[in-house]
C-alpha cells in the first residue's frame, strides 16, 4: 500500500470510535432501565423503584464520563525547569473504580505510575487524571494498563514509563466462580523500564513489589 494511502493511526489516548448507531436520548436510556427492572421480575412503578431509571442513567453519566474526556489534554502542560532532574518520578496507590466491559461489573483497585523524565515533567495530579479518564470507560484491565502507559509515553516522550495495576473484579467475586479476596495484577513497562532490569526492580521496590512475577 502506498504511503499516502495508509489510514492515519488513531492515538491510543483518543476517545474510542463513535458507534455506528446514534446515541440514544436520556428518555430512551431510562426506558431501557425500566425494561431491565421488569425483566428482573420487579415492578418499576412501585415507590422504591419509581425514580430508579433516572438515578441509574445519572450514575452512568458519572461512571462512564471518560468517553467525553481526552487524557492528552491533562498531559499537555509540562514544566522544563527541573534543574536537570532525570530520575524516576512515581505516583503510587492511585485508587480507581472502573467497570468490566464483559459484565459491566465494578473493577476496583490501585494504579502505580512511574516515568523517567526527558527534560520535562508534568504535574502529578495530571497522572491521576489520566488514570481516571481511562477508568471511567468500559474496560479490560490489561487494556486499561496499556492505554495509560502508552498515552503517557506518547505525550511526554520520557525515557520510559511503568504502570502496574492491582484490582479486584466483581464479575469474579460476586458471580460466576464467586472467589472473593482474589486480586489481579497487570503491568506495562516501556523504554528503560522494559530494557533495564535494575530500573524495573527499583520501580517495583518503590511501589511495594506487588508481584515478584512482574520482574521477569
101 is annotated as an active-site residue: yes
Task: State how far the Cα of 83 lies from the Cα of 85, in Å rounded to an integer.
Answer: 6
Per annotation, catalytic residue among 30, 112, 139, 141: 141
169 is annotated as an active-site residue: yes
Nearby residues of 201 by Cβ (< 8 Å), 6 or more positions away: 215
Nearest to 160 by CA among 193, 127, 200: 193
Dihedral Cα 16, 21, 27, 29, nearest 10 deg: -60
Per annotation, catalytic residue among 27, 61, 102, 215: 102
102 is annotated as an active-site residue: yes
Name residue, grid cell 511501589.
Answer: 207
83 is annotated as an active-site residue: no
Crossing angle of helices 124-135 and 141-156, rounded to 10°:
140
**Cell numbers for 66:** 471518560
8 Å CB contact between 96 and 131: yes
- Give bridge partners of residue 96 from the DSSP assignment: 109
139 is annotated as an active-site residue: no
Per annotation, catalytic residue among 69, 73, 97, 103: 103
100 is annotated as an active-site residue: yes
Per annotation, catalytic residue among 13, 30, 99, 100: 100
- Give bridge partners of residue 185 from the DSSP assignment: 166
Per annotation, catalytic residue among 72, 150, 170, 171: 171
Can you list the alpha helix ranges (DSSP code H) found in the chain? 26-40, 52-63, 71-75, 124-135, 141-156, 170-173, 192-195, 197-207
**Residues belonging to the active site:** 100-103, 141, 169, 171
Amino acid at each position: 500500500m502506498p504511503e499516502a494511502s495508509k489510514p492515519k493511526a488513531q492515538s491510543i489516548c483518543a476517545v474510542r470510535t463513535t458507534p455506528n448507531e446514534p446515541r440514544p436520548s436520556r428518555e430512551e436510556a431510562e426506558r431501557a432501565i425500566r425494561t431491565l427492572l421488569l425483566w428482573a421480575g420487579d415492578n418499576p412503578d412501585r415507590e422504591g423503584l419509581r425514580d430508579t431509571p433516572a438515578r441509574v442513567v445519572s450514575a452512568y453519566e458519572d461512571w462512564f464520563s471518560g468517553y467525553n474526556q481526552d487524557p492528552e489534554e491533562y498531559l499537555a502542560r509540562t514544566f522544563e525547569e527541573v534543574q536537570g532532574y532525570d530520575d524516576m518520578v512515581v505516583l503510587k496507590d492511585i485508587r480507581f473504580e472502573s467497570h468490566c466491559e464483559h459484565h459491566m461489573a465494578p473493577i476496583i483497585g490501585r494504579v502505580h505510575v512511574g516515568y523517567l523524565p526527558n527534560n520535562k515533567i508534568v504535574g502529578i495530579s495530571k497522572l491521576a487524571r489520566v488514570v481516571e479518564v481511562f477508568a471511567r470507560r468500559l474496560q479490560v484491565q490489561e487494556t486499561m494498563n496499556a492505554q495509560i502507559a502508552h498515552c503517557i509515553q506518547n505525550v511526554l516522550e520520557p525515557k520510559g514509563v511503568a504502570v502496574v495495576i492491582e484490582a479486584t473484579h466483581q464479575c469474579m467475586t460476586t458471580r460466576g466462580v464467586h472467589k472473593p479476596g482474589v486480586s489481579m495484577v497487570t503491568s506495562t513497562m516501556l523504554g528503560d523500564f522494559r530494557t533495564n532490569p535494575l530500573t524495573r526492580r527499583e520501580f517495583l521496590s518503590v511501589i511495594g513489589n506487588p508481584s515478584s512475577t512482574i520482574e521477569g
